[in-house]
Amino acid sequence: MKPMRLIWRAVLLLCLLGSIGLTKAAASENVKLGVLTDLSSVYSDSSGNGAIFATQMAVDDLAAELKAAGIEVTVVSADHQGKPDIGANIARQWLARDHVDVIVNVPNSAVGLAVQAITRAEKKIFLITGAATAALTGEQCSPYSAHWTDDTYTLAHGTAAALINQGKKSWFFLVADYAFGHAMERAARSVVEAEGGRVLGSVRHPVGTPDMSSFLLQAQASGAQVIALANGGIDTVNAIKGAHEFQITQGGQSLVGMGLFITDVHSLGLDVAQGLYLTTGFYWDRNDESRAWSKRFFAKMNMMPTREHAETYSAVHHYLRAVLAENTKDADKIMARMKAVPVDDFYTHDGVLRADGRLVHSVNLAQVKTPAESKYPWDYYKIVSSIEAGKAFRPLAEGGCDFIAH
């Protein structure tokens, strides 16, 4: 009987070990995405609930494949309120206690930089579809970040170069006083000065300033041909409203919205926003694919998507494709896969995730239409020109990313 008892004990032990292994395997197939966004501050329209919904759209569109692979994906969300300390605390709690695998979105560059420092230390993936400072793939880069957002280099260079070529060579900057605004001004200033233009002055304003009058009067008094708004969200909207009241464009000065979103144009109306220049990697009405996806988004959100909404879907979809292909959520393996496979979807057909985590692709210089040019709801942009990927983003060697060999 002794040998039989030993055999049964061995069988029971193997079963127990097997069940433990299955439990671990099942746990490793659960993926939790944390959408850290702005629900109550200046970027609530351009990201906010739309970013949460875009994330869920990407999950739902891959639901059948994920289910067949035994992968369960959960989406959670939180509001960072435009404050780096709150955003950092949420990120720490998500990663340490709540088992979040990937942080998504994070509009506001100051919050994005704080969150990236945490995700890099914890070796967790950060899909950046909101924060725009180019420092995220430069001197403060992370091997675990993928930067989908049109960054400050792109937003500033594209528009500045185009207007300089039109002969508009004197500039004044109205700057949001935080990382995004500072980076935007530096990037645009470098283009203006390199092309023989002049910067006649700049003024910085606090984020969330309701009355831009004093700043706009300084810009108007400078006599600059171009007044560049190096801000975003409600700050851009308030500045454009103020410029309209002071009849700045009627006086011959051009207004540039460097962080302008289609939701801002919708809020302002074409009477106020017409003629504004901007650079954007996405416009909902660009082609049949972008229209089809955007109409699905509109059906739920009752608004056409901003570039950040489209970026969020594209980034999450690309990430989940990598999880399916690699059959793991190991951050190093997933990042390697994401960088090895081109991004080819409604958002872009020529996207490549570079070694520093920067998604490079062609972008568009656009101008806001006049009321007479707009033929249907949300028909707001006319595409002036396309900027190829190699010229749209900062060269890899110039970023100063510490884990890239030059």
Q: Which residues contact 120 (CB under 8 A, 6 or more apart)?
A: 126, 142, 143, 144, 145
Q: What's the rounded Cα separation, in Å, for the pair 341 and 354?
A: 10
Number of other residues whose CB lies within 10 A of the CB of residue 62: 19
The confidence score (pLDDT) of residue 4 equals: 46
Element (H, E) at 32: strand 30-37
Element (H, E) at 226: strand 226-230
The confidence score (pLDDT) of residue 405 equals: 73
Note whether 203 and 173 are within 8 A (CB): yes
Q: What's the rounded Cα separation, in Å, for the pair 225 and 280?
A: 22
> What's CA 248's distance to the chain center, in Å?
30
Give residue 151's identity as a one-letter amino acid code: D
| Residue with the two structure tokens 């409600």 | 234
| Residue with the two structure tokens 């020109």 | 385
Q: Label residues 10-37 b or e (16+ Cβ within 10 Å = b).
A: eeeeeeeeeeeeeeeeeeebebbbbbbb
Q: Which residues contact 94 (CB under 8 A, 6 or more apart)?
A: 34, 36, 76, 78, 100, 103
Domain 153-280+363-392 coded CATH 3.40.50.2300 = yes
Domain 30-150+286-361 coded CATH 3.40.50.2300 = yes
Domain with CATH 3.40.50.2300 in the chain: 30-150+286-361, 153-280+363-392
Note whether 159 and 227 are within 8 A (CB): no
Note whether 352 and 360 are within 8 A (CB): yes
The DSSP code for 383 is E
Question: H-type helices in 205-282, by residue range?
Answer: 213-222, 234-245, 262-268, 270-273
Q: What's the rounded Cα separation, in Å, for the pair 265 and 269?
A: 6
Q: Which residues contact 155 (CB under 8 A, 6 or more apart)?
A: 132, 184, 187, 258, 259, 278, 279
Name residue 163's beta-bridge partners.
Answer: none
Q: What's the rounded Cα separation, in Å, for the pair 242 and 231?
A: 14
Number of other residues whose CB lies within 10 A of the CB of residue 377: 9
Q: What's the rounded Cα separation, in Å, for the pair 108 and 388?
A: 26
The three-class DSSP label of residue 386 is strand
Q: What pTM, to 2 d.p., does this model score?
A: 0.90
Number of other residues whose CB lies within 10 A of the CB of residue 272: 18
The confidence score (pLDDT) of residue 29 equals: 72
Q: What's the rounded Cα separation, in Å, for the pair 44 and 259?
A: 14
The confidence score (pLDDT) of residue 158 equals: 82
- DSSP characters for 62-88? THHHHHHTT-EEEEEEEE-TT-HHHHH
Note whether 116 and 128 are within 8 A (CB): yes
The confidence score (pLDDT) of residue 406 equals: 55
The confidence score (pLDDT) of residue 166 equals: 87
- DSSP characters for 162-214? HHHHTT--EEEEEEESSHHHHHHHHHHHHHHHHTT-EEEEEEEE-TT-S--HH
Q: Could you state, in chain order, the average pLDDT of each consecutive group of 10 residues for the chain (406 residues)?
A: 45 42 47 97 94 98 97 98 97 98 96 98 98 96 98 90 90 94 93 94 94 96 96 92 93 92 96 93 97 98 98 98 96 98 97 98 95 98 92 94 84
Q: Which residues contact 373 (CB under 8 A, 6 or more apart)?
A: 382
